[in-house]
A = this chain, B = another copy of it.
């Protein structure tokens, strides 16, 4: 059976490398996932190992790989194709990732910020298909975003656009690893949701999570908070509602600035589903212009955890035509 041309999409996160073989319609044929160890120098090896394995699978099936897209968590300079900053994976800054990968796969390779890749995936074959002006927001260990403006991936001057997690929502708030204070990320990222929950659980003992508040007594995670909220735990619901309120402030700002057709919310923390989505929508309605809100759909990601690999493959498809 002729599978047509195949594209490889790679999604590098702080903890794992996901890679997939994707056809021209964005369907995944093969997907692999590999944990990244703590050794910073081994990260590029890990990425290349995943790519190598998939390349072997492709050649077994006689699938020709046309091009490779790699999404990385950091600031990617669109002109030099180099990673300029990657707080969670500093090792990527020192090496020429594009060059190193291209040597192994012998086909065109493109690197791009991971949230931009996922945004492109949702735009080409996910929730935002057919919409011209879109923000995709990934709420996870960090908070990233990718923008589609007038039907094109918007990268900005150097390729750094989309640092939505570093919107100041609380001018006198906590210091952020970016150097600012009161960034959305200091309140609403996965680790900060856990921090806020833990701080309050020392005071509020009514929640089923209270026993997890003490360090060492089991693991308190955003997924656990979401699960307890689904079970009706008031404390967990309150934590999600407050998280949604802060995300909603930043979304309302973007809506008023960009008059978007759609906001797509993804990333691990969005596993909480409507319990987080609804408070976000409520806050946006309270704050953004009525005419802007009425026009804009605010929805959960359709591609979920695969938005990154699909988007990476699709951007490679559309870049090297």
Closest residue to A262 on the B side, CB-wise? B157
Is A314 an interface residue, CB under 8 A from the partner? Answer: no
CB pair B256 A163 closer than 8 Å: yes
CB pair A170 B167 closer than 8 Å: no
Is A192 an interface residue, CB under 8 A from the partner? Answer: no
Closest residue to A131 on the B side, CB-wise? B157
CB pair B261 A157 closer than 8 Å: yes
Closest residue to A285 on the B side, CB-wise? B179
- Whether A85 touches B254, Cβ cut-off 8 Å, given contacts A150-B154, A171-B249, is no
- Whether A157 touches B291, Cβ cut-off 8 Å, given contacts A168-B252, A252-B180, is no
Closest residue to A261 on the B side, CB-wise? B157
Distance in Å from the Cβ of A13 to the closest Cβ of chain B?
Answer: 20
Is A202 an interface residue, CB under 8 A from the partner? Answer: no
- Whether A288 touches B149, Cβ cut-off 8 Å, given contacts A156-B259, A259-B161, A260-B157, is no
State in angstroms the CA–CA spacing of A289 and B252 once bound together: 21
State in angstroms the CA–CA spacing of A261 and B261 once bound together: 25
CB pair A156 B260 closer than 8 Å: yes
Interface string of A208-229 (1 = CB under 8 A from B): 0000000000000000000000
Distance in Å from the Cβ of A179 to the closest Cβ of chain B?
Answer: 7
List B contacts of A288 (CB < 8 A).
166, 180
Interface string of A74-109 (1 = CB under 8 A from B): 010000000011000000000000000000000000
Is A24 an interface residue, CB under 8 A from the partner? Answer: no
List B contacts of A145 (CB < 8 A).
257
Distance in Å from the Cβ of A152 to the closest Cβ of chain B?
Answer: 7
Distance in Å from the Cβ of A299 to the closest Cβ of chain B?
Answer: 15
State in angstroms the CA–CA spacing of A295 and B168 once bound together: 20
Q: Which of A166-205 contact B (CB under 8 A)?
A: 166-171, 178-180
- Whether A132 touches B157, Cβ cut-off 8 Å, given contacts A152-B150, A166-B289, A168-B252, is yes
Cβ-defined partner of A169 (8 Å) among B75, B85, B171, B257: B171
Is A121 an interface residue, CB under 8 A from the partner? Answer: no
Distance in Å from the Cβ of A250 to the closest Cβ of chain B?
Answer: 8
Q: Which of A281-296 contact B (CB under 8 A)?
A: 286-292, 295-296
Distance in Å from the Cβ of A148 to the closest Cβ of chain B?
Answer: 11
Distance in Å from the Cβ of A290 to the closest Cβ of chain B?
Answer: 7
List B contacts of A178 (CB < 8 A).
289
A-B contact pairs, 11 of them (CB 8 A): A132-B157, A150-B152, A156-B260, A157-B296, A164-B256, A166-B288, A168-B253, A170-B171, A178-B289, A180-B287, A180-B288
A interface list, Cβ under 8 A from B: 75, 84-85, 132-133, 145, 147, 149-150, 152, 154-164, 166-171, 178-180, 249, 252-254, 256-261, 286-292, 295-296
